[in-house]
Amino acid sequence: MCNYTVGDRGIIGSNGQPWLEQRRFALHTLRNFGLGRNIIEERIMYEFEITCEELEERFDKGGVSIEPENMINLMVANIMNRMLFTDRFDKKDEERFFALKAKADEMVNNFSIFDLLIDQWNMDLPLIKQRKEYILKPVNDVVDFMRDQIERR
């Protein structure tokens, strides 16, 4: 199952020289995104200020209930989205984000250690294939979302 998702690539799915190259690339990319500089702090504070303004508007309109988990999840997602794609989630994208997050949460809750033990040779067996598709559906949805974001640019 791990080979299917990472395809022997990435920091987690590789070792030796490929791992070293992936590590260097990851560290270089993180530095370009602002790791170790004040850029990340500025982006976090910007998103925090926007969230506080939205809360103040909601309270001024008489709204008294908030969902802190959703608010924080959206704030973190907006920070990451701005770093990767230079914009925040607008209202219609918020619904898509929460749908993707719900699917990812369901995937994590349904995932078991036995899913890691599935070998490549038995991936095409009907029951195992159905399980693989069920588990990887949220991953594919996230990849589709990222492709949409890239195409918009």
Give the tens place of pLDDT for each residue, 94-132. 888 899 899 889 888 888 888 777 777 788 888 888 888
pLDDT band with cut points at 50, 70 and 90 for residue 89? confident
What are the residue ranges spanned by the domains of the chain? 1-36, 38-89, 91-153
Residue count of the chain, please give it. Answer: 153
Q: What pLDDT, on the 0 to 100 scale, is given for residue 10?
A: 62
For residue 137, count other CB atoms closer than 10 A to its CB.
14
Rg of the chain in Å (alpha carbons): 19
For the record, the structure tokens of 95 come out as: 């619904």
| Res. 3: pLDDT tops 60 | no
Cα separation values, 86 from 1, 78, 89, 112, Å? 33, 10, 10, 36
pLDDT digits (tens, 9 = 90+) for 30-78: 887 777 777 778 888 999 999 999 888 888 888 778 888 989 999 999 9
92 pLDDT more than 90: no
* Structural contact between residues 74 and 97, judged by C-beta atoms closer than 8 angstroms: yes
